[in-house]
Amino acid sequence: MKFYIFIQNEPFLLPKVLDKVLREFSDDCAGVNIQSVAQGKRSVIATALDLWKLYGFRYFQWKLRAFLWAKLKARVVNGFLGMTNTCYSVGAVARKYGVEVTEAVDVNSDTFLEHLQDREVEFILSISGTQFYGKKLREQIPRGIVNCHGALLPKYRGLMPSFWTLANGETQGGVSVHFVNETLDDGPILIQKRYALKSRDCLEDVMARSKDLAAEAIIECVHAIAAGNPATMPNDAADATHFSMPGPDDMRRFRERGHRLR
């Protein structure tokens, strides 16, 4: 079964997730499409400004410095020196396993649909992907498109689920791997995994825990899809909750519950 991976260009946690997936399935992976870090329909700059307003200067500048340092290490260590013992970008991970990389493309374009067809792609795995996957794309992929979402669907559809579960005082977090349809985070669920949330958990730790669990769920999902006719669980819209970019009041509530960003 040939499959394609859509993944966000995030240098902190996703290279490890992709490494675990490709270590298991690189021979069957026809390519990796790297997508923007922009949230929703925002541009990268608009996303950065929203996060600055939300997190404040101290955390934002720490995150920005870490982002730029990871980008520099990827360019020097993985690019110039060609070393892949540690990969600092998802692109470096793909190249480590000899998997073709595409970047900065519209995955719904006729050109990219032809690209997938030429490679006989039967299945697409979206890991924190940031593009909408249109009808023509969905209909072209015989075994479907699945997305890995960092919450226990149908609750916490939308953006930044790790933040929202902490801000709302949840005692459990999790990840859901689900089929993609025409509505955000709405398709039938294939795999769900849970973890405990504690009153003093910080956002960075919860995001790392979520991504570790996501890698396990994704590997389990690919095996299920390859075996054929995987069982699914309902993702009932009647029980859904939806969340977008948090605001200052949400951050105050997050802190009042005893949580930190890092």
pLDDT digits (tens, 9 = 90+) for 58-80: 999 999 999 999 999 999 999 99
Averaged pLDDT for residues 132-151: 97
18 and 32 in contact (C-beta within 8 Å)? yes
Q: What is the pLDDT of residues 164-195, one digit of tens each?
A: 999 999 999 999 999 999 999 999 999 999 99
The torsion defined by the Cα of 133, 135, 138 and 142, in degrees rounded to 10, comes to -170
Question: Where do the domains of the chain lie?
Answer: 3-143
* DSSP state for residue 141 in the 8-state scheme: -
Question: Within 119-258, where are the H helices?
Answer: 135-140, 161-167, 203-227, 248-256
Distances (CA, A) of 104 to 9, 81, 163, 170, 215: 10, 24, 28, 36, 24
Q: What is the pLDDT of residues 190-217, one digit of tens each?
A: 999 999 999 899 999 999 999 999 999 9
CA-CA distance, 128 to 148, in Å (whole number)?
Answer: 7
pLDDT band of 51, cuts 50, 70, 90: confident
| Res 180: pLDDT | 97
pLDDT band of 31, cuts 50, 70, 90: very high
Q: What is the pLDDT of residues 213-254, one digit of tens each?
A: 999 999 999 999 999 989 999 999 999 999 998 999 999 999
Averaged pLDDT for residues 27-49: 84
| Res 39: pLDDT | 63
Q: What is the value of pTM for the model shown? A: 0.94
| Res 47: pLDDT | 81
Q: Which residue has the tokens 């802190």?
A: 255
